[in-house]
């Protein structure tokens, strides 16, 4: 989703994962935290195999933060907003 709440990168799993991580970092930053504060991830995707092809993006971001939170990856039929392929939910502690 962009800053106005609109889906971005239709049909582009890699683009949506990258934007989801950008958004996560922005929210954490706004709370005075960073990726290293993440203690748990829940990821929802409409295509597990396609999402896994792009998990290097998570590795690059969380690896740079020296953080490897436990993660749940769930395949779903669809997400709440049409066009979304990937959604990330994070728990963070300061």
Give the angle 81-45-16 at the CA atoms, nearest 5°: 70
Does residue 3 surpass a pLDDT of 90?
no
Q: What is residue 6's predicted lDDT score, i.e. its pLDDT?
A: 87
Q: Is the pTM of this model over 0.85?
A: yes
Residue given tokens 């290293």 in the structure block: 36
Residue given tokens 């300061």 in the structure block: 94
Q: Where are the domains of the chain?
A: 13-92
Give tens-digit pLDDT for 21-71: 999 999 999 999 999 999 999 999 999 999 999 999 999 999 999 999 999
Q: What is residue 72's predicted lDDT score, i.e. its pLDDT?
A: 98
Instruction: Classify domain 13-92 by CATH number.
Output: 3.30.1330.40
Q: What is residue 30's predicted lDDT score, i.e. its pLDDT?
A: 96
């Amino acid at each position: 989703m962009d800053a106005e709440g609109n889906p971005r990168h239709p049909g582009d799993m890699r683009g949506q994962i990258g934007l989801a991580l950008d958004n996560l970092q922005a929210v954490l930053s706004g709370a005075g935290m960073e990726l290293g504060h993440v203690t748990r991830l829940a990821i929802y995707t409409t295509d597990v195999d396609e999402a896994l092809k792009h998990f290097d993006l998570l590795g690059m971001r969380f690896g740079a933060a020296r953080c490897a939170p436990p993660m749940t990856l769930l395949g779903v039929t669809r997400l709440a907003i049409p066009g979304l392929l990937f959604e990330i939910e994070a728990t963070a502690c300061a």
